[in-house]
Structures are given as structure tokens and as C-alpha cells.
Amino acid sequence: MLFLDFERAAIGPPEWDLVSSAVEYDSAGWISDSEYGSFVEGYGQDVLAWPHYDIFRDIREMRMTCYVAQLASDHKDAKGEASLRIACLQGRRGPRPWTWAPM
């Protein structure tokens, strides 16, 4: 018997695959300039320059926020982090990169 998990499998634009790393760099500041530069050089494309990046970024940020909000009822640290992320998305925490904690 073989089980496969296709939870995140999809057919779509390659930019969707790249946006996760770009958001970790651009929105959360989890990736340094040099690390992101190496990523872009290795891949050969910078999704930040793509005209639809903002839309994909916003979707990814919302998903990252919803994930932490789901954790909030069971994890004390997640409650504050979820509140911070919601405030950021509402424009109450200034420009990116925000001080999101990896969860």
C-alpha cells in the first residue's frame, strides 16, 4: 500500500512557488539580502519584479496569518503573534518587513 500527500500539489504559475520565499524576505525579514540574492540568482527570476507579486504576496500573508490564528487557542505564544499579524495586515504596524516570528 502506498500513501501520497498531495495537499499542496497544484498546477499553476511558477510564481506561486516563488512567492513563499519572497514573502519570507520582503514581508517577514526572515531571509537576508544575500540569501535572497542567492535564491534569485539560482532560480534566474525575481518574483518581486513580477507585476502580480502584490496579489500573491497578500494571499500568502493572509494564509500565514490564518495558520497562526488557528494555533492561538492551543499555544500561548501564537495568540500574540496572530494579533500582531492581523494588525500588520490592517496597516497598523508600518511598512514591511514586519517583526513576525516564525511559527
- The residues spanned by each domain of the chain are 14-89
Q: What is the pLDDT of residues 49-94, one digit of tens each?
A: 999 999 999 999 999 999 999 999 899 889 999 999 999 999 999 9
C-alpha–C-alpha distance, residues 50 and 64, integer Å? 21
Q: Where does the pLDDT of residue 37 fall: very low under 50, low under 70, confident under 90, or very high at 90 and above?
A: very high
Interhelix angle 14-26/33-43, rounded to 10 degrees, is: 170
Residue 5: what pLDDT? 76
